[in-house]
A and B are shown apart, each in its own frame.
Chain A
């Protein structure tokens, strides 16, 4: 859709509806993380309405330091991923860690007693003919940071996902799910 420059002080209903309907990211749902849970599932997140999604986690705390992890539906194998990271500071040595046919993605965000943080782009989770990818997830630990991406190598359709801390439990943050509008 072409960019339009409005010139009148009052928007018409037609313009308003058109531009609301053609926003980029569309809010789908949000879910508060339960009190002291080791895993938090979000159902009815993915559908044929969108091919790609942004999942954002903010607020909340965890009982311990560790990565935030993600599972699609009930799939518990064929997760591959890598996080490239380094400790804070100049000329820090690059490090990495990864998932090789793991039971879930292990590095989609980070959990701390002082914050939860994740911003995950997810591609094709609902398409039963495609592998699902996650891309450019920020991984921000307290003494290091990096970026992660990965692939779930099953041609399957998912409507739900589960987030979990690598260690202990988390509490009270909010998981936001947005869809990338297709048309």
Chain B
């Protein structure tokens, strides 16, 4: 699977594996289903 992009100021690039692991650890999900979200 392609990792998502990260923006750092005006630079946009694909996340590194480490950055992607940290994103997933933060509770981020690729797709959501609930407007109330919490």
Residues of A within 8 A of B (CB): 31-43, 64-67, 69, 71, 76, 83, 85, 87, 95-97, 102-104, 106-107, 141-144, 164-169
Q: How far is the CA of A67 from the CA of B35 in the complex (A)?
A: 9
Q: A39-B23, A66-B37, A144-B35 are in contact. Are A34 and B30 (CB under 8 A)?
A: no
Q: Which residues of A contact B26 (CB under 8 A)?
A: 69, 71, 76, 102-104, 164
* 10 A-B pairs closest in CB distance: A97-B38, A34-B7, A167-B32, A38-B4, A34-B12, A37-B7, A40-B7, A103-B26, A64-B32, A41-B8
Q: A67-B37, A76-B22 are in contact. Are A41 and B7 (CB under 8 A)?
A: yes
Residues of B within 8 A of A (CB): 4-12, 15, 19, 22-23, 25-32, 34-38
Contact call A43/B36, Cβ cutoff below 8 A: no
Tell me the minimal C-beta distance from B28 to chain A in angstroms. Answer: 7
Contact call B5/A64, Cβ cutoff below 8 A: no
Q: How far is the CA of A90 from the CA of B38 in the complex (A)?
A: 21
Q: How far is the CA of A142 from the CA of B31 in the complex (A)?
A: 17
Q: Which residues of A contact B31 (CB under 8 A)?
A: 64, 167-168
Tell me the minimal C-beta distance from B30 to chain A in angstroms. Answer: 6
Which partner residue on chain B sits nearest A96 by CB separation?
A: B38
